[in-house]
Amino acid sequence: MRITNVRSGRIIRIGSACAILVILIYTLFNYSRSEAVSGELGERTFDVHPEQYKSHKDVYPVLKTELGNFEPRNKRSVNGPGEGGRPYNMPQDRANDIAEAESEYGMNIAASDDIAMNRTIPDTRLDECKYWHYPENLPSTSVIIVFHNEGFTVLMRTVHTVIDRSPPNILHEIILVDDFSDKENLKENLDNYIKRWNGKVRLIRNAQREGLIRTRSRGAQEATGEVIVFLDAHCEVNLNWLPPLLAPIYRDYRTMTVPVIDGIDHRTFEYRPVYSHGTNYRGIFEWGMLYKENEVPDREASLHKHSSEPYKSPTHAGGLFAINRKYFLKIGAYDPGLLVWGGENFELSFKIWQCGGSIEWVPCSRVGHVYRAFMPYSFGNLAKNRKGSLITINYKRVIETWFDEEHKEYFYTREPMARFLDMGDISEQVALKEKLQCKSFGWFMENVAYDVYDKFPKLPKNIHWGMVKNKASGLCMDTMGKAAPSYIGTSACHGAGNNQLFRLNEAGQLGVGERCVEADNDSVKQAICRLGTVDGPWSYDEDLNQLIHRLHSFCLTLQPHSKTLALAPCDPNNTYQKWTITHKKPNW
Ligand code: LR7
Ligand code: MN
């Protein structure tokens, strides 16, 4: 098995929703056709052309030998900064501008400012995509873009590409929702700029900061199209991106669709595919609720004749998707108790799947997204009076609503601190789940997210968790905030955050976050845990307080002079080999 990290050109960003570990499993595709049609329509209170659900005639895209009905006929070839999606390397004398832009926006807005709004980008689709013909009368669409302090040209390029690359009769409107930005050029300047679109682009502004989750729900309320498409405020949609996204929704209003996301480099604005050509991935998760991607398993791939066809996915990254507006509102939009950023992608996914809908990824719809260097904004007042990680609070709300007891246990094993977090009141979410008669999480795991277990098996219980404190020195094991793989260090014990929070499980795995502690004679490292495994070499001697590496039969030792960690022959009298692993209920 090979593990590949994609996003930002094969870089993993751990600890954010963009921390995507793509797992390449080379599967043999079995081309046998079976129709993934939902025959039963359920309650229909929507204005989504009921007659089309009675017969499935004319609602399916058809692959022909002639160019697709929505394919652009004329292609441009232009020279200039960033044209063709090529990297734009700014001259050396602009180094200060670049540094300033990067630190203010997490991306090089100075480069974006030099690049044409309607620049050309490479067509990253499979060639086959050009030959699909879609139903002509696809549903009218509102594109919703929420933003907080985004770079002006990046935000406007998102709008320009949507206008330029969407069929005008299908694109009903673009709604920009300003989540209380304070940048000057996003005020009057923006009001004036969008006038060129004669009302097709609408701008609404929050009276206070709401966070992206509530802001999106507001956009959905305000929209008047039949389908809504959400985009982050730093995207470029690719050729003929919209019809393939709409076709599955037109067929069944309970299907949410997700484009395949390409990468736009935050420094050079190079536009490039994230996945290797022709391979399909889908969204999954690990038990700490970090978003992951996995090559589409055979069980799903074998249902499709063409690799350009949409396929089912357990979840999605969060930012870019299309959904029938009334359906989105009927299933409660997003849980309004979710705060600012994170976990909403899982909430919506579990809700859709468990309550009768489905999620499809659409290989012929491609949208570029700028992966930032870091998150440039704070959570502001929204994080006030919240103890502990806001994102983990969101995860807790989602898992307490949608998981069953067995799976909740895996989450708390992986994120033991989450037990102590105050998630607020979820009774309305639970009532909604009852009302919609949603299926169990077990059903979801067995029928939809079955590939999660292959990579992230059920977790054995923790024997001990918390700070790993050395008796002789009083120091604690510490990740030192470094990215894996790297050495594990030691520092004064504080137990705050996650850097000193280790877990030893029944199967001998010593973990910290999604990493595992690995050791040889002269070093102790953290590395991403081997996929598909939950065991490890460690055991804890309760009497001698030793952490024993069973493979080497050596003990974990703090080296007195360097304060670094190593393995050494076990010596019951050596207090540098004695460790306690303890946690306290946090003092919140
Ligand atoms: O308080 C805020 N208010 C906002 O309106 C914070 C952000 N925002 C806006 C922001 O301007 C942007 O347009 O919300 C949008 C998303 O914020 P980002 O771009 O900072 O998020 P992200 O790209 O780092 O994170 C991903 O996970 C988020 C979890 O809540 C959202 O779902 C993002 O939409 C999502 N992005 C994607 O899925 C794009 C693909 C990246 C990956 C993986
Ligand atoms: Mn984003």
Whole-number pLDDT of residue 75: 83
For the chain, what percent of residues have pLDDT higher than 70?
Answer: 89
Whole-number pLDDT of residue 379: 87
CA distance 73 to 242: 16
The average pLDDT across 195-216 equals: 97
Lookup result for tokens 């100075």: 110
Does 126 lie in the same domain as 6?
A: no
CA distance 371 to 106: 9
Higher pLDDT, 124 or 584: 124
Ligand 1 proximity of 217 Cβ (cutoff 6 Å): no
Give the chain's largest Cα–Cα span: 81
Does 168 lie in the same domain as 71?
A: yes
Q: Which domain holds residue 514?
A: 462-582
**Local confidence band at 497 (pLDDT 50, 70, 90 cut-offs):** confident
Cα 26 to ligand 2 centroid, rounded to whole Å: 30
Helix, strand, or coil (residue 306): coil
pLDDT tens for 230-279 read 999 999 999 999 999 999 999 999 999 999 999 999 999 999 999 999 89
Ligand nearest to the CA of 18: 1
What does the CA dihedral 480, 486, 489, 493 come to, rounded to 10 degrees?
A: 40
- In the chain, the number of structural domains is 3
- For residue 154, being part of any structural domain is answered with yes
Ligand 1 proximity of 147 Cβ (cutoff 6 Å): yes
Q: How far lies 132's CA from each of 171, 209, 264, 306, 322, in Å?
A: 20, 42, 26, 11, 19
Instruction: Kindly write down the DSSP assignment for every residue of 28-47, as one continuous string.
Output: ------------------S-
Q: Ligand 1, closest atom to CA 230?
A: 34
- Domain closes at, from 370, 404, 437: 370
Looking at ligand 1, which residue's alpha carbon is closest to its atom 25?
A: 17
Ligand 1 proximity of 150 Cβ (cutoff 6 Å): yes
**Local confidence band at 33 (pLDDT 50, 70, 90 cut-offs):** very low
The average pLDDT across 158-172 equals: 98
Cα 465 to ligand 2 centroid, rounded to whole Å: 34
Is the distance from CB of 302 to CB of 29 less than 8 angstroms?
yes
**Local confidence band at 588 (pLDDT 50, 70, 90 cut-offs):** low
Does 18 lie in the same domain as 144?
A: no
Whole-number pLDDT of residue 568: 95
**Local confidence band at 585 (pLDDT 50, 70, 90 cut-offs):** confident
CATH code of 566's domain: 2.80.10.50
Q: Ligand 1, closest atom to CA 215?
A: 5
Does 240 lie in the same domain as 150?
A: yes
- For residue 53, being part of any structural domain is answered with no
Does 100 lie in the same domain as 194?
A: yes
Ligand 1 proximity of 232 Cβ (cutoff 6 Å): yes
Q: Looking at the predicted structure, is the pLDDT value of residue 457 above 70?
A: yes
Does 132 lie in the same domain as 195?
A: yes
By DSSP bridging, strand 554-558 and strand 510-512 are unpaired
Whole-number pLDDT of residue 587: 67
Q: Ligand 1, closest atom to CA 316?
A: 38
Q: Looking at the predicted structure, is the pLDDT value of residue 38 above 50?
A: no
Ligand 1 proximity of 345 Cβ (cutoff 6 Å): yes
Count CB-CB contacts under 10 A for residue 75: 8
Contacts of 474 (CB under 8 A, 6+ apart): 492, 493
Ligand 1 proximity of 262 Cβ (cutoff 6 Å): no
Ligand 1 proximity of 176 Cβ (cutoff 6 Å): no
Question: What is the tally of helices (H) and strands (E) in the chain?
Answer: 15, 29
**Local confidence band at 159 (pLDDT 50, 70, 90 cut-offs):** very high
CATH code of 320's domain: 3.90.550.10
Cα 18 to ligand 2 centroid, rounded to whole Å: 9
The average pLDDT across 560-570 equals: 95
Ligand 1 proximity of 8 Cβ (cutoff 6 Å): no
Buried b (16+ CB within 10 A) or exposed e, 155-185: bbbbbbbbbebbbeebbbbbbbbbbebeeee
pLDDT tens for 69-105 read 999 998 888 999 999 999 999 999 999 999 999 999 9
If DSSP states are collapsed to H, E and C, what string results for 337-385? CCCECCCHHHHHHHHHHHCCCEEEEEEEEEEEEECCCCCCCCCHHHHCC
Ligand 1 proximity of 226 Cβ (cutoff 6 Å): no
Pick the range with the lowest mean pLDDT from 56-65, 130-139, 323-332. Answer: 56-65
The average pLDDT across 160-168 equals: 98
Query: What integer best gives the mean pLDDT of the chain?
Result: 90
Q: Ligand 1, closest atom to CA 233?
A: 13
pTM: 0.91
Instruction: Kindly write down the DSSP assignment for every residue of 449-490, as one continuous string.
Output: STTHHHHSPPPPPEEEEEEEEETTT-EEEE-TTPPSSEE-EE
The average pLDDT across 495-523 equals: 93
CA distance 66 to 364: 16
In the sheet where 291-295 sits, what is the strand order?
Answer: 2-5, 21-24, 291-295, 281-285
Ligand 1 proximity of 190 Cβ (cutoff 6 Å): no
Cα 289 to ligand 1 centroid, rounded to whole Å: 16
